[in-house]
Amino acid sequence: MSASQTYRSTRSKVDQAVSFEDAVMTGLAKDGGLFVPSQIPKLPSDFLEKWSDLSFEELAFNILRNFIAASEIPDADLKLLVEKSYSTFRTKDVTPLVKLDSHDNLYLLELFHGPTYAFKDVALQFVGNLFEYFLTRKNAAKKEGEQRDIITVVGATSGDTGSAAIYGLRNKKDVSVFILYPTGRISPIQELQMTTVLDDNIHTLSLKGTFDDCQDLVKQVFNDSKFNDKYHVGAINSINWARILAQITYYFHAYFQLVKQLPEAEKKNLKVKYVVPSGNFGDILAGFFATQLGLPVEELVIATNENDILDRFLNTGKYDKASTVKATFSPAMDICVSSNFERLLWYAIKATTAGGDDNKAGEILAQFMSDLSSKGIFEVAPETLAKIKSDFDSRMITNELTGATIKDTYASTSNHYILDPHTAVGIATAQKKMAVDPEAKSTKYIALSTAHPAKFSEVVNESLGGFEGYSFEDQVLPEEFKQLSNIPKKIKLVESTDLATIEAIIVEELSKEKKV
């Protein structure tokens, strides 16, 4: 295995390389850190020409190949995994790039054409196939009657993660999925998307409690080492490296689509900025890896809602956890801390205060993370902040501006483009940036569109209800969503939120599935 294709923990003080398979199947390192590639390869200098006409699937294969050793997944198998993962998308381009004609130089990268209409599908369709691939291989080597290896995925959701995980993992051999959500606190469409999946291996648990209670329980299940050893608890949230990895592709794909759409004169000295609605920092982190591979990106712009820990960090160098989460119009970005930011910090610390030393970077970061959990805050050195700011910028967008942006975009585009509230946070950020960018005339902004507006009907209808001729049913709601309420539902209502109850339910369902 070559050095570039092993993984290490962001908190480790010694070099303990693990394989891609172990990094993906365990999710989190034993020391509580996140897995990062030991080295990031640099693509050959002619890749911009050579890759310019590749399909989404071909690009995905080339990028994945740089982070997964061929000894772990041979070329032919990797190709099949990629093809299978993106065959479920509704457009041939997988993630099409469209221009908003309300502005010069403003583009939207539509990431919502997967099975659940959210950007998380791009990664989770692949992760599901990957889990199945590794388990099938392990179990093929077992003797008759020997216990099969399984993975028991346990996750909490306030909306999009749950349905995207369910659609990624439904009907996968040796995989069982338990998704916990707070009763009555997710949107009706999102609940229907999850509970109408009837496959035996999918279990949705509606819990009497808050999203934080659900997340707490998931952490407790992970930390119960006896339970974890026995049932192989797996993670599908964006701490899982495979999710970040799968998202790198669309940064390249968007770049090449943009070049194709531009007149010849504008292709030279092209400057591209990506604007990304961010919560746990998984989506935009994939953009960082794209730049490290060699994609020429002028800037990555973090768009946050009023839960703005990232924007405050970029302004001060202090990572200061808020005491409560604010409920905003863009609920998938309502977070107190941004879990994947740890990965970026590791690289920035390594390049600055750790003098290029991996282990020293792990040591410094482990201390920061311990300060975060004991004091709720840590502060990085000025040179670490400067390093991050050389690649990133940020803006915070209020609820009010989010709604106004949905409205303005509808009014000012010739096709009455309808944004979902998360995407609106990105568009508002792009507009704020363009207004003060001295090179706005020659810079292309690509805003990532992370969800379909039908998933967030309340805000969208509130913003657009006043327009004559606007109709949610006709202009927004996909045919598939209209059918959902006619499909039978499978939900388990859980009255209590204690660990013993949840673990008992998991074991009971696994035994019904004949997995234990």
Q: Which residues bind ligand PLP (CB under 6 A)?
A: 118, 120, 160, 238, 277-283, 332-333, 422, 450-451
Q: Indicate the burial class of 267 (C-beta count within 10 angstroms; 0-12, 13-18, 19 or more).
A: exposed
CA angle, 314 as apex, 308 and 317 as ends, to 5°?
Answer: 110
212 CB contacts (<8 Å, ≥6 apart)? 325
For ligand PLP, which is the closer residue by CB, 283 or 503?
A: 283
- Residue nearer to ligand PLP on the CB measure, 138 or 185: 185
Minimum distance of ligand PLP from residue 103's CB (angstroms):
21
**Whose Cβ is closer to ligand PLP: residue 194's or residue 502's?**
194
Active site residue 30: no
Q: What are phi and psi of 390, to 5 degrees?
A: -75, -20
Helix H segments across 301-420? 309-316, 341-351, 358-375, 382-389, 399-412
Across the strands, what pairs with 272? Answer: 444
The 3-state secondary structure of 164-179 reads: HHHHHHCCCCCEEEEE
Question: For residues 99, 101, 106 and 109, what is the CA-based torsion angle, rounded to 10 degrees?
Answer: -30
Q: Rounded distance, CA 35 to CA 339, Å? A: 12
How distant, in Å, are the alpha carbons of 168, 184, 478 from that of 482? 21, 20, 7
Provide the residue type at 416 as one letter. Answer: H
Which amino acid does the sequence have at 288? F
Q: Which two tokens stand for residue 338?
A: 């941004």
**Shortest approach of ligand PLP to residue 112 CB, angstroms?**
8
Beta carbon of residue 16, minimum distance to ligand PLP (angstroms, whole number)? 27
Which one of the listed residues 120, 273, 350, 455 is annotated catalytic?
Answer: 120
364/414 Cα distance (integer angstroms) = 52
We find the least distance from the C-beta atom of residue 238 to ligand PLP, in angstroms, to be: 5
Nearer to ligand PLP, 283 or 311 (CB): 283
Q: How far is the CB of 44 from ligand PLP (least distance, A)?
A: 29
Find the shortest distance in angstroms from Cβ 275 to ligand PLP: 12
For residues 150 and 424, which CB has a smaller minimum distance to ligand PLP in the complex? Answer: 424
Whether the Cβ atoms of residue 82 and residue 61 lie closer than 8 Å to each other? yes
Q: Which is nearer to ligand PLP, 37 or 279 (CB)?
A: 279
Please list the active-site residues. Answer: 120
